[in-house]
Amino acid sequence: MLEDDDLSWYARKADSLRQDVAVPRAPEGPDPRVAGLLAELVAGGIRGSVERRTLYTRRLPPGCRGCLSGKGTNAFVTGLCTRDCFFCFNQKPRVDQLVVHGIPLAEPEEAPYIVRRYGLRSVGVSGGEPTLRPERLLRLVRAVKALPFSVRVDLYTNGDGLTDALLAELKAAGLDALRFNVVAREFDLSPVERALKLFAEAAVEIPVDPAQTVQLHDMVRRLDALGVPFLNIHELFVCRENASRMAARGHASGGPEAPGLLWEPVAGGEAAALELLLFGLREAKNLSVYYCSTRTQEDISARGLRRRRRLGASAAA
């Protein structure tokens, strides 16, 4: 029997993200740019919820539907990584451990038990960099896709270890889609281009750094030209693990801690994300841009935790 009822891994993860490092704090009060950007987005036909900042330009990415419904989860293949991004919130020192839905597993083949028990319908496979453990990654995908009901599996990667051979194996294993962190590779899109040859849904998912406007606009144009279907953007945030690097880049905390996430959005982060969303709405011909804000992530976290506790209590009864 897997020890999965005490949420202990989640608790340790939350503790590791607590903000206990001094970070400059922006003046209190709402960013005056936000209201104007939201008005322009609404006038332009933006979709989703303005109140919760769950917004998208054309289509909602299929891989996001499970999370938004509370039926999605993460599978951390390993905490090890090939990069050390300034915004990374993973625990340090890094640990080579497989964790699914907050539950440490000894073998990837234990994952279907977790998916069944908690009624999950989508799994985002991430890390660290999951391609550092290719066999573990492939076994996990195969095990989940072998379930007798449909479970969507998305792979989050920076692309460093994604060879053509591994792409082919992932396709054969049943992987549905990939999401690339192209900021980790200084906006190099070559792994995305290679993935598009096998996967119709090779998307990009990144945080929006207010200091990278020029690069971000150029990226949107290039993704649209390549035929990439989705760009998922996140509000940049500060936590314990990235606080010193955020401060070194001039980012101040711009809001209160999100109770379920223990993150603080950076000053100007929401305006920068909304501006990029508006740019995508106006400039991209086919690319769909989805804004997953800290408010959205707070909703997802709370909804998923309620579902986990309810189903865990039912199973224990």
- Quote the CA–CA distance of 257 and 263 in Å, as a whole number: 5
- Residue 145 has a pLDDT of 98
- Quote the CA–CA distance of 63 and 42 in Å, as a whole number: 24
- Quote the CA–CA distance of 295 and 81 in Å, as a whole number: 27
Identify whether 54 is part of a domain.
yes
Identify whether 272 is part of a domain.
yes
How many Cβ atoms sit within 10 Å of the Cβ of residue 70?
A: 21
- Quote the CA–CA distance of 139 and 126 in Å, as a whole number: 14
Print pLDDT tens along the chain (317 aa): 344 444 444 445 545 545 455 555 665 567 889 999 999 999 999 999 999 899 999 999 999 988 888 889 999 999 999 999 999 988 888 999 999 998 999 999 999 999 999 999 999 999 999 999 999 999 999 999 999 999 999 999 999 999 999 999 999 999 999 999 999 999 999 999 999 999 999 999 999 999 999 999 999 999 999 999 999 999 998 888 888 888 888 887 766 555 555 578 888 999 999 999 999 999 999 999 999 988 887 777 666 666 666 666 565 55
Burial class (CB in 10 A: 0-12, 13-18, 19+), 1: exposed
- Quote the CA–CA distance of 288 and 181 in Å, as a whole number: 16
Chain centre to alpha carbon of residue 27: 28
CA distances to 29, 55, 57, 125, 280 from 228, rounded to whole Å, are 37, 19, 14, 20, 13
Q: DSSP characters for 209-222? A: -GGGHHHHHHHHHH
Q: Which residues of 217-228 are buried (b: 16+ CB within 10 A; e: fewer)?
A: eebbebbbeeeb
- Quote the CA–CA distance of 18 and 123 in Å, as a whole number: 25
In the numeric block, the tokens 């234990």 are attached to 110
Identify whether 3 is part of a domain.
no
In the numeric block, the tokens 């990226």 are attached to 219
- Residue 231 has a pLDDT of 98
| Residue range(s) defining the domain that contains residue 182 | 8-316
Nearest CA-CA partner of 83 in 156, 154, 178, 166: 156
Identify whether 281 is part of a domain.
yes
Identify whether 87 is part of a domain.
yes
Residue 95 tokens read as: 């640990």
- Residue 20 has a pLDDT of 53
49, 291 contact by CB (below 8 A): no
119, 152 contact by CB (below 8 A): no
Residue 57 tokens read as: 């330009």
- Residue 11 has a pLDDT of 47
Identify whether 1 is part of a domain.
no
Identify whether 156 is part of a domain.
yes
Domain count for the chain, please give it: 1
199, 172 contact by CB (below 8 A): no
236, 210 contact by CB (below 8 A): yes
Where residue 250 sits, what CATH number does that domain have? 3.20.20
Q: Where are the alpha helices (DSSP H) in 109-258?
A: 111-117, 134-145, 164-173, 190-196, 213-226, 243-248
Identify whether 2 is part of a domain.
no
Across-strand partners of 49?
54
